Amino acid sequence: MAEALPILISVAAEDAGKRLDQLLTLHLEALSRARVQEMIASGKVLVNNAPAKASLKLRGGEQLRVLGEAQRAPLKAIAEEIPLDIVYEDDDLAVINKPAGMMVHAGAGATDDARNRGTLVNALLHHLASLSAVGGELRPGIVHRLDKETSGLIVVAKNDAAHRQLNSQFAARAVKKKYVALVHGWVKKDSGTITQSISRDPVRRMRMTTRLVGGRTAVTHYRVVRRLDTKFGKFTLLDVKIDTGRTHQIRVHVAAMGHPVVGDTMYGAPRQARGKSAVTGLARNFLHAAELEFRHPRTGEAIAQKSELPEELLEFLRKLEERI
């Protein structure tokens, strides 16, 4: 929260009927609704100089005073014995083939140890002797991220020098990343580049959007591998390469084209694909980080790793292509 404290907000007449936490989330764009609710519960928000509940319905004309953010006890990631597919490892780094359903690390909004379990970081602390400290105690070793329901390759740093050098490669867009995505419908062009900027959705804070002016630059290249006409509907299998690494970048960009990733209900995919005579669904997103190439932070040698589609995605493709 970058604004000078206290923050004073006058509730406009047109905001009558909104909940207190809803209105504050709109005003404090850098904070999630859950974080705003913590502030209210800890007495950091006053309505007409008195504490209030997050559910308070505003009438218009109130004066809101934001005193600061709620203080939290810092969390520290702990080691857990979780199976891990390590596809490459040396003294400086490791490349992991992450399964779908695993978070890379606990989020900034984690408030208890229960939300700091089962992540890639917990598994790394068990399997690897050392991890870089650049990202802090909640994100040791983490140089970049994959979404929870995205599978595939991610590189982690085992010491601070390697972490900083890898960070520099990502910042310079020198790391090559290729993904495989299955999207709904037939993408018209055989290949293309999407350059719409990406911002956080001001209303649905867990989502990103291309609809706002002034977002962060994002560049996504796609190539059609094949188009499928199935009893469940039409789909396109894509190879996707990204020059930038914005939050949800591929998912947001293909959804903006009108072709959401299969399974990605956050960005408009149906929970089930319905054809003329059949229904099927996927419990995860059909998005897989298939190739990762970078320079070794110590030797400069090219490191290139590949990951085949996991069995659940191969099985889904087989199911789509079954004939009645």
Helix 20-27 to helix 33-41 angle (10° resolution) is 120
The answer to whether residue 77 is domain-embedded is no
User: How far lies 89's CA from each of 157, 160, 277, in Å?
Assistant: 10, 16, 48
In a domain, 72, yes or no: no
300 within domain boundaries? yes
User: Does residue 304 carry a pLDDT above 60?
Assistant: yes
Distance CA 241, CA 76 (A): 34
Give me the catalytic one of 147, 160, 190, 243: 147
**Phi and psi, residue 224, nearest 5°:** -75, 125
Instruction: Indicate the range of 76-90, 100-114, 135-149 predicted with least confidence.
Output: 100-114
The CATH number of residue 166's host domain is 3.30.2350.10
Which domain does 41 fall in, by range?
A: 7-66
Supply the CATH number for residue 57's domain. Answer: 3.10.290.10
Helix (H, G, I), strand (E, B) or coil at 73: coil
CB 274 within 8 A of CB 252: no
Q: Confirm if 239 and 183 have CB atoms less than 8 A apart.
A: no
Report the domain count for the chain.
3
For residues 24 and 28, give the distance between their C-alpha atoms in angstroms, rounded to a whole number: 6
Helix (H) or strand (E) holding 302: strand 302-306
Question: What pLDDT shows up at residue 111?
Answer: 47
Please state, for a pLDDT cut of 70, what percent of the chain lies above it: 92
Co-location of 20 and 92 in the same domain: no
147 catalytic residue (yes or no): yes
Residues 279 and 157 in one domain: no
Q: Is 183 exposed, middle or buried (0-12, 13-18, 19+ CB in 10 A)?
A: buried
211 shares its domain with 271: yes
Whether residues 162 and 184 fall in one domain: no
Q: Mark whether 180 and 300 lie in a shared domain.
A: yes
Q: Which two tokens stand for residue 250?
A: 């591929």
Could you tell me which of 149, 91, 94, 144 has the C-alpha nearest to residue 123?
94
Q: Give residue 242's pLDDT.
A: 97
Question: Model's pTM, two decimal places?
Answer: 0.77
Residues 293 and 280 in one domain: yes
Domain contains 90: yes
- pLDDT band, very low/low/confident/very high, at 47 (cuts 50, 70, 90): very high
